[in-house]
């Protein structure tokens, strides 16, 4: 076996006239690596070189591969990534890695650019002033994540201090609004920073959703991550959370293998409880969903909003009332890829102002319900199912919506028998 012609040509395109010293010291390694990274990986999809190198540089920042970054930067510049774009990648990485990790990359970038005769500083790209960065950052968050981000900077003070505000004015207001890269490119590089550094799956999940919102679809993200494999290794590239699934129980019915899906929304925090206010560490609907899974098996999926509702009960009911009045569709962190594998879908939610929380509408409107059997369950403090079943029938067009179960929220934990019996009967 030898280094393939394609790999040699690609190498020459990246590093014209350069002969790696590894060819002498590590011939067997370099043969396999070059064939993999510069042939097999490159021809595996239709990404253009510029996008590939943008992803590679970002993932090298994410995994802290400083020597390889220094080596690959000239290849990126030879493949159409501009000095402005490289600088923007490094600047934005500070928000996801901190200057502690980005610093050597900024120095390496300057060294490489200066050695190529690029004059520094480059033309300014700032898109905001200190006066409007908060407002502009919020608009960027709304554009990328959806209207649910309005007011995000003012949330989380008690648990997160200033961090949510800084995410708005610093992360988005200072960096995302700059020139040089558009939102699609900025979301892609953020995805690479997060995937390559590992350990920040919640952020990776919400940025996977954000990527899809700005037009980087799932297929594209899978290609991007695949291109990073030679640079970041397999563990951080395997199955990025482009879609999350819950439990794994599969139920056999005749010859066909089908699973139940138990999807629910539930809110932890202060809630109305038998006439008083109680702080719930686990939501009532979440408890009920667990009982159903235990009784009939299936995958659990929790509907989670990008923007959390207030933990304070009275603040939350005002938020919910406003959303109902406006017919809001709050952005969700993640959706199942599809629901084709399920025939019975249990749909659980608390009664909020007489129907489902608006987040459930966001979820339900995403899918084709034709042929599904839907079983609603609703926890509440006295209003029963309200008009939720009527609303469900409207949204889940084509599904058979069976009789729902109303559970008194404060009694959920003691209602396992009733909930399990209903779930089992629903399956008959």
Ligand X SMILES: Cc1cc2nc3c(=O)[nH]c(=O)nc-3n(C[C@H](O)[C@H](O)[C@H](O)COP(=O)(O)O)c2cc1C
Q: How far is the CB of 174 from ligand X (least distance, A)?
A: 35
Distance CA 264, CA 277 (A): 22
For residue 149, give the DSSP letter: G
Q: Which is nearer to ligand X, 73 or 289 (CB)?
A: 289
Q: Lay out the site mask for ligand X across 172-201 (x = CB under 6 A, - = otherwise).
A: ------------------------------
The tokens describing 256, both together, are 């066909």
CA dihedral over 313, 319, 325, 329, signed as positive or negative: negative
Q: Does 272 interact with ligand X (rule: CB under 6 A)?
A: yes
- Find, among 271, 308, 301, the residue nearest to 286 by Cα: 301
Distance CA 230, CA 225 (A): 10
Choose the binding region for ligand X from 238-246, 296-304, 312-320, 392-400 (rule: CB under 6 A). Answer: 312-320
Choose the binding region for ligand X from 5-13, 222-230, 264-272, 293-301 (rule: CB under 6 A). Answer: 264-272
Q: Does 267 interact with ligand X (rule: CB under 6 A)?
A: yes
**β-bridge pairing 400-401 and 299-302:** unpaired
Choose the binding region for ligand X from 45-53, 58-66, 235-243, 374-382 (rule: CB under 6 A). Answer: 374-382
User: Cβ atoms within 10 A of the Cβ of 211, count?
Assistant: 24
Distance CA 111, CA 181 (A): 22
Q: Does 351 interact with ligand X (rule: CB under 6 A)?
A: yes
Q: How many chain residues are in contact with ligand X, going by CB under 6 A? A: 24
Q: How far is the CB of 306 from ligand X (least distance, A)?
A: 17
Distance CA 161, CA 294 (A): 38
Q: Does 379 interact with ligand X (rule: CB under 6 A)?
A: yes
Q: Does 271 interact with ligand X (rule: CB under 6 A)?
A: yes
The tokens describing 387, both together, are 């008009």
Q: How far is the CB of 414 from ligand X (least distance, A)?
A: 13
- Furthest CA-CA distance within the chain: 79
Q: Which is nearer to ligand X, 240 or 290 (CB)?
A: 290
Q: Which is nearer to ligand X, 381 or 416 (CB)?
A: 381
Distance CA 140, CA 150 (A): 10
Q: Binding residue for ligand X (CB under 6 A) from 93, 141, 285, 415?
A: 285
Q: Which is nearer to ligand X, 35 or 355 (CB)?
A: 355
Whether the bond into 121 is cis, omega within 30 of 0: yes
Q: How far is the CB of 400 from ligand X (least distance, A)?
A: 25
Q: Which is nearer to ligand X, 79 or 266 (CB)?
A: 266
Distance CA 70, CA 305 (A): 40
Q: Which is nearer to ligand X, 185 or 271 (CB)?
A: 271
Q: Does 381 interact with ligand X (rule: CB under 6 A)?
A: yes
Question: Taking each helix axis from N to C terminus, what angle separates 83-97 and 183-197, rounded to the nearest 10 degrees?
Answer: 50
DSSP bridge pairs for 14: none
Q: Which is nearer to ligand X, 174 or 323 (CB)?
A: 323
Q: Lay out the site mask for ligand X across 224-263 (x = CB under 6 A, - = otherwise).
A: ----------------------------------------
Distance CA 302, CA 23 (A): 52
- Find, among 313, 287, 310, the residue nearest to 300 by Cα: 287
Positions in 395-414 near ligand X (CB under 6 A):
409
Q: Binding residue for ligand X (CB under 6 A) from 47, 223, 354, 393?
A: 354
Q: Does 283 interact with ligand X (rule: CB under 6 A)?
A: yes
Q: How far is the CB of 196 from ligand X (least distance, A)?
A: 36
Q: Does 382 interact with ligand X (rule: CB under 6 A)?
A: yes
Is residue 121 within 8 Å of residue 83, measured between CB atoms? no
Q: Does 284 interact with ligand X (rule: CB under 6 A)?
A: yes
Strand, helix or coil for residue 277: strand
Question: Which residue is at the shortest CB distance from ligand X?
Answer: 409
Q: Does 320 interact with ligand X (rule: CB under 6 A)?
A: yes
Q: Does 280 interact with ligand X (rule: CB under 6 A)?
A: yes
* Full DSSP string of 80-145: T--HHHHHHHHHHHHHHH-HHHHHHHHHHHHHHHHHTT--SSPPP-----TTTHHHHHHHHHHHHH
Strand, helix or coil for residue 349: strand
DSSP bridge pairs for 277: 272
Q: How far is the CB of 354 from ligand X (least distance, A)?
A: 5
Q: Which is nearer to ligand X, 114 or 413 (CB)?
A: 413
Q: Which residues bind ligand X (CB under 6 A)?
A: 266-267, 271-272, 280, 283-286, 313, 316-317, 320, 350-354, 379-383, 409
């Amino acid at each position: 076996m030898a280094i393939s012609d394609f790999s040699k040509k690609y190498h020459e395109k990246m590093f014209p006239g350069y002969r790696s010293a590894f060819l002498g010291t590590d011939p067997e390694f370099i043969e396999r690596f070059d064939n993999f990274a510069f042939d097999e990986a490159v021809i595996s999809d239709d990404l253009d070189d510029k996008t590939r190198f943008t992803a590679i540089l970002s993932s090298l920042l994410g995994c802290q591969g400083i020597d390889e970054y220094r080596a690959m930067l000239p290849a990126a510049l030879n493949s159409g990534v501009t000095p402005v774009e490289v600088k923007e990648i490094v600047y934005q990485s500070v928000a996801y890695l901190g200057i502690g990790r980005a610093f050597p990359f900024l120095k390496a970038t300057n060294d490489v650019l200066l050695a190529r005769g690029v004059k520094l500083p480059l033309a300014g790209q700032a898109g905001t002033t200190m006066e409007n960065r908060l407002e502009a950052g919020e608009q960027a968050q709304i554009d990328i994540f959806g209207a649910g981000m309005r007011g995000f900077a003012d949330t989380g003070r008690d648990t997160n201090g200033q961090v949510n505000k800084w995410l708005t004015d610093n992360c988005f207001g200072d960096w995302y609004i700059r020139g040089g890269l558009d939102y699609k490119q900025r979301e892609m590089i953020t995805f690479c920073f997060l995937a390559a550094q590992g350990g920040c799956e919640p952020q990776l999940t919400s940025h996977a959703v954000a990527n899809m919102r700005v037009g980087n679809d799932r297929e594209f993200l899978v290609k991007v991550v695949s291109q990073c494999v030679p640079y970041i290794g397999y563990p951080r590239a395997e199955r990025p959370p482009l879609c999350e699934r819950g439990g794994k129980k599969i139920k056999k019915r005749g010859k066909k293998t089908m699973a139940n899906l138990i999807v629910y929304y539930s809110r932890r925090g202060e809630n109305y409880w038998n006439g008083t206010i109680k702080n719930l560490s686990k939501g009532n609907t979440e408890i009920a969903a667990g009982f159903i899974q235990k009784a009939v098996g299936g995958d659990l999926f929790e509907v989670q909003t990008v923007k959390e509702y207030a933990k304070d009960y009275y603040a939350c009911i005002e938020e919910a009332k406003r959303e109902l009045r406006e017919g809001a569709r709050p952005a969700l962190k993640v959706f199942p890829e599809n629901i084709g594998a399920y025939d019975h879908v249990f749909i659980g939610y608390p009664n909020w102002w007489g129907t489902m929380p608006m987040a459930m509408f966001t979820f339900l409107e995403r899918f084709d319900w034709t042929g599904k059997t839907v079983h609603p369950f609703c926890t509440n403090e006295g209003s029963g199912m309200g008009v939720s079943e009527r609303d469900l029938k409207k949204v889940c067009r084509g599904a058979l919506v069976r009789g729902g179960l109303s559970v008194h929220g404060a009694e959920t934990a003691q209602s396992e028998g009733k909930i399990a019996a209903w779930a089992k009967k629903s399956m008959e």
